[in-house]
A and B are shown apart, each in its own frame.
Chain A
Amino acid sequence: MKSLALKKVAVYFVVIAVCSFIVLANDAFSMQLTIGVLITVILALAWDILSRTGQVTLGSAAFFGLGAYGMGLLSPLLGTFGAWVGMLAICGLVAMLLGLLTLRLRKMYFAIATLGLALSLQVLVLVFRDWTGGSSGISPPVLLDADPQLQLLAITGFVILAMFVSDYFLSDRMRPALFLVRTNPELASASGIPVVRTRILIFTVSGMLAGIAGALYGGLYGYVVPTDVFTIHWSVIPLAIVILGGMDSTLGPILGAVMIKTIEEIARFYIGGVGYQVTYGAIIVLFVLFLPGGVLGLIKELFKQSVKGRI
């Protein structure tokens, strides 16, 4: 058990070390790239945490957009700190409500309902255009005076926070409970796990994390349009990342995000336009077929075999 804890600490150290190295190197391109990776890491962790209770959401974009819009709308009213608190409260509340409403839905209906949420929010933004700026978008305040070094540091901090949250739900206290809720809700409630409360809690936490990712994204450029943040793109990215990296872990989404960004940049170079998204599809299809455990699963498998070989 101790070595496991040590491994977890090592992951944190590596993340912090790599990020501080990039901050110190102060190269504009690599910092931009890292910021992009880290934001998707947060989004992917949010997705993974929710999937641990067996809920496959296609609605990450809803909370991503909600976070970006929350910051944009609340900042003029509440100041920066107040806007963060308000944004988190809104994302948490919406997630809690959606969690309550979709509790009775079967998996497939759940996927469709969450898919619909992002699209519905996009419509609401268009409907209340006097307030939200409609299709021309809004301008949330730019994060930390647009200083990329400070921005990267702050975002690293949020990634560490997301990793803490993810690790908490993987701890000895929570993991068995979530596993039971996912695989056998009746047995879970018979063994004293509050199934409904656990699901809602997970849903709320996941929504807030996705909201943070959106808020950071909006704060990067100080410009948000509904056709960017509410599009299915932001719901698909976490799926591809988690499938690639490995589900049900903290390290998986991090590995996945780094790899997908690398592949994406290469594809962008050769294909250009929006067609580079073909890589997401290809990755999901190939990994579901041949490596459902993701890269992390493969590594674990290889590790196990090498240990066996030695004995």
Chain B
Amino acid sequence: MDLSLIYQSLLLALCAAGLYATVASGLTLEFGVTRIINFAHGEFVMLGAFQTYFMFELQGISPVVGMITSGISMGLLSIIVYWGFLAKVLKQDEHNQILATLGLSIFILNMAVILWTPDTRVMHAPALLPTLKFAEIIIPGNNLVVLLVGCGLFLCLMAFMRFSRYGVQLRLASDDPALATLAGVNVDRMFCLSFVIGGITAGIAGGLVALVLYVHPYVGMDLVMRAFAIVALAGLGSIPGALIGAVLLSVIEGIVANFVSQGASWGYGVSFLIILLVLLVRPTGLFGKELRS
């Protein structure tokens, strides 16, 4: 096989890592703080993708604006979902917590199927950045946008968690809710905040999806499955782990899709084979800390 082709596919896989990391970091933040796996996270991504798509196709609004507004609207939707639904579920046992967000995900997914049909759509937006060319290696501009936005968002999230007042409160609420309450942190509000931040990242990720992938109701499910694999691989709750996991996974996926015959049809099954293996060796993932029960 041609060497430049290998580089090209690896670089494209790295660009996809930007998208995966965006989805996975929101998911892992939500889990780290509230101890709930948000199965509906993927559906927020999907809704964001549809919003960006419709804003461009119907009104001609630039995908950049679309991305930002879908971030905002998914953040707002998260507030509604949290106070209307999740806050009540948080007080029930773990059984129901897993079921609740899964039910929500199935509900939103199929509502989208009913409203917009399961057909795939393509957003015919002009590329936001010029195409990069090194000799024979070609990286389309939009894939570059995905990488840059993904990494930028990730750095913002890290900085927010590390340096901002709310970030410190979030970390305390996640480490020890009882102590956080004593220290004067409003734990309920922190839980809500983590879902809002998760929603915003999901909405922006949705915009990225509209840029580089087909838009259809199942796109969120596809992505969130990979995000599960990433966060389980890295350790639930570890935000830096999400980036490393995303890079690992996208590169492995790229290799399988390009160098194994019919490997492209394996999809996220590959990632699950990997996490099954990792969980065997380290039940808390590569970078996960021991969780309190």
Contacts and interface: CB of A to CB of B under 8 A. Distances in A.
A126 B106 contact: no
A292 interface: yes
Interface residues of A, number: 47
Contact of A289 (B89, B108, B262, B276): B89
Interface stretch (A81-89, A100-108, A158-166, A199-207): A100-108
A56 interface: yes
Nearest to B118: A274
A284 B101 CA distance: 9
A108, A127, A243, A273 — which one has the most chain B CB atoms within 10 A of its CB? A108
Contacts of B110: 274-278, 280-281
Contact of A236 (B106, B267, B279): B106
A56 B114 contact: no
B276 A113 contact: yes
A240 B106 CA distance: 11
B273 A120 contact: yes
B232 A101 contact: no
Contacts of A285: 85, 100, 103-104, 107
B276 A275 contact: no
B266 A239 contact: no
A117 interface: yes
Contacts of A56: 94-95, 98-99
Contacts of A273: 113-114, 118
Contacts of B268: 119
Given A115-B228, A288-B96, A281 B276 contact: no
A80 interface: no
A198 interface: no
B280 A281 contact: no
B98 A108 contact: yes
B103 A120 contact: no
A179 to B, nearest CB: 13
Interface in B259-293: 262, 265-270, 272-273, 275-276, 279-280, 283-285, 291, 293
Contacts of B104: 281, 285
B280 A101 contact: yes
B139 interface: no
A247 B95 CA distance: 10
Given A106-B293, A243-B99, A116 B107 contact: no
Given A239-B102, A275-B110, A123 B229 contact: no
A202 B285 CA distance: 26
B104 to A, nearest CB: 6
A275 B114 contact: yes
A280 B272 contact: no
Contacts of A117: 272, 276
Contacts of A135: 265
A229 B99 CA distance: 21
A58 B225 CA distance: 13
Given A239-B99, A289-B88, A280 B265 contact: no
Contact of B98 (A107, A278, A283): A107
B283 A104 contact: yes
B23 interface: no
B interface bracket (residues with beta carbon within 8 Å of A): 35 or more
A283 B272 CA distance: 28
A307 B280 CA distance: 51
A240 B114 CA distance: 20
A298 interface: no
Contacts of B272: 115-117, 119-120, 123
A47 to B, nearest CB: 11
A288 B103 contact: yes
Interface in B102-133: 102-111, 113-114, 118
A123 to B, nearest CB: 3
B266 A123 contact: yes
A120 B273 CA distance: 6
Contacts of B114: 271, 273, 275, 278
Contacts of B98: 56, 58, 107-108, 111
A106 B283 contact: yes
B278 to A, nearest CB: 10
B246 interface: no
B108 to A, nearest CB: 7
A112 B270 contact: no
Interface string B220-231: 010001001100
Shortest Cβ-Cβ A-B pairs, 4 listed: A284-B103, A281-B107, A123-B269, A116-B272
18 contacts: A107-B94, A113-B232, A115-B228, A116-B229, A116-B276, A120-B272, A126-B265, A280-B110, A282-B103, A284-B99, A284-B102, A284-B106, A285-B100, A285-B103, A285-B104, A288-B92, A288-B96, A289-B88
Interface of A: 51, 54, 56, 58, 101-102, 104-109, 111-113, 115-117, 119-120, 122-123, 126-127, 135, 232, 236, 239-240, 243, 247, 271, 273-278, 280-285, 288-289, 292
Given A276-B110, A288-B100, 20 more contacts: A51-B95, A101-B276, A104-B283, A106-B283, A109-B279, A109-B285, A112-B228, A113-B275, A115-B228, A115-B272, A120-B276, A126-B269, A232-B221, A247-B95, A274-B110, A278-B114, A280-B103, A285-B103, A288-B99, A289-B100
